[in-house]
Structure 1
């Protein structure tokens, strides 16, 4: 049985938080949240992750960061 493990995240503290990709692609392993994206009701719906190695940016639903099989908090 495959059990999913999640971490708790405070969406208001996402900005400038650091993350490690569990399955790095193109040597992009370490990321920093550079921006949060809000809807019309000012709720956070996504974040902009920037790869430390090459500064590529990716938009990601902030809830995806809760999945420990994909993302680990801090740099490891």
Structure 2
């Protein structure tokens, strides 16, 4: 389980544990917050293909799927 501070996710780097379509390295490009400023979702952009995907930030806590940093 990765320990994450959601407020510091912007521009953080992530590595997919099981890459698909040659997309291994990702960068958090945007944070989506509610009215109180709580982070709800993040937008991840694949470095190689520039494809973006939006997901709940808690998904990044799963160390079986995501690794902090580029490895």
Normalised by the size of structure 1, how large is the TM-score?
0.90
Between Structure 1 and Structure 2, whose CA radius of gyration is higher?
1
Deviates more, 1:17-26 or 1:39-48: 39-48
Aligned to 1:72: 67
Q: 5+ unaligned residues in a row in structure 2: which ranges?
A: none
- RMSD of the alignment, in Å? 0.6
Q: Is 2:30 aligned against 1:35?
A: yes
CA distance in 2, matches of 1:54, 1:32: 12
Deviates more, 1:14-23 or 1:40-49: 40-49
Paired residues, number: 71
Give how far 1:61 is off.
Answer: 0.5
Q: 5+ unaligned residues in a row in structure 1: which ranges?
A: 1-5
